[in-house]
Amino acid sequence: MTGFTLHRLHASIGVEVRGIDLSAPMPKDTRRALAQAWLDHLILLFRDQDLTPKAQRAFCEQFGQLGGRLRKVEERPEGRDAENIMLVTNVRKNGVPIGSLPDGEMFFHHDKCYAAEPDWGTMLYALEVTRAGGHTLFANMYAAWETLSNDLKEKLHGRRVLQIYKYLPTERVDLADGIDKYDHQWQPIVITHPKSGRKALYVNELMSALIDGYDEDESRSIIKRLNSHVKAANIIYEHKWHRGDLMMWDNWCTMHARTDFPRNQTRMLRRYTIRGQKLSA
C-alpha cells in the first residue's frame, strides 16, 4: 500500500500524484514508489500542499542530498541566510528583488547544466501565483532524442556541448565577450541518464552555446533546429500554477521554460534542488 494514485498530465510527460500530504512523515515503501513514479514519468505534481521551508527541505532530502548553488553568496538576492533555498519571485523591497529570476519569460534550460555535477532534481513550491501567465513548460528529453531525425542524430554523434549561464532569463552569453567570468561546463550532448540508463538530449536554448566540431554560427543553427524539434514534437506539458502546488522534475531528462506574466502581479515560489553527479554520454 503506497496510499497514492497517479493521474497523467500529458501523454508524453508528467503525472499528478494524489493522496499524499508531503508535510507528514513518509513510510519507506511510499518513498520508494514515488521514486519509481518519478523515474517513469519525469515530473511529479502534488497539489494543495502546505509546506514550511523545513517540510519542503525534509521531503527533498528523502531523495538525496540537497543541491548547493554555484552563484557566489554575495551575488544571491536571497542573502547569506537562505542556505540552499532559492526564492523565485518578483517581489521587491526598496525596488530590489528579494529573490532570483524575478520577471517575465525564461527560455528553455536544464537547471545547473553548466556545473560539473548538474543537479538531479528540482522541487518548486508555489507560495503565490499570478492570475495570468508565468506557466512552466516541461519537455521530455528522452522523447526529444528518440524522435530526432537521423540526419541530426548523426550531426551530434559523440559530441560535447558548452553549457554556460549568465544568470539572466532570456539572455545568452556572448562568446566573444570571453567565457571565463561565467559558470560553464562542457557536457555530452546526449547523456545517459545515471538512474534509468536511457539516452536524453542535453541541449537547451538558454544555456547551450557551442557544439564541439562546429563554429559558433553552425552551433547556433543546430541548437535552433533542436529546439524547434522539441517544440514541434508534442512532448511538452504546460503547467499553470496554483498556490500550494509542488512540482518536482528531473533535470537530466527534462528541460523547462517559463511563459511571460504581468509585472504588477506577485509571483513567489520556493526552490530546493537535489544534488546530482557528473554526466556521461
| Residue ranges binding Fe ion (CB under 5 A) | 111
Closer CB to Fe ion, 111 or 183, in the complex: 111
H/E segment holding residue 140: strand 136-140
Query: Please, which residue, 41 or 109, has the CB nearer to Fe ion?
Result: 109
User: Which three three-digit cell numbers place residue 168?
Assistant: 539572466
Calpha distance 234→26 (Å, rounded): 34
Residue number, 38 or 165, with CB nearest to Fe ion:
165
We find the least distance from the C-beta atom of residue 136 to Fe ion, in angstroms, to be: 8
116: phi > 0 → left, psi -120 to 50 → alpha, else beta; which?
alpha
Query: CB 19 → Fe ion: shortest distance, Å?
Result: 28
Smallest separation, CB 2 to Fe ion (Å): 29
Specify whether the CB–CB gap between 227 and 207 falls below 8 A.
Answer: no
Give the shortest CB-130-to-Fe ion separation in angstroms: 17
Residue with smaller CB distance to Fe ion, 20 or 183: 183
What residues form DSSP beta bridges with 123? 248, 272
* Spatial distance between the Cα atoms of 247 and 96, rounded to a whole number of angstroms: 27
Residue with smaller CB distance to Fe ion, 78 or 111: 111
Question: Measured between alpha carbons, how far is residue 181 from residues 71, 72, 165, 201 in Å?
Answer: 12, 12, 10, 26
Smallest gap from Cβ 18 to Fe ion, in A, equals: 25
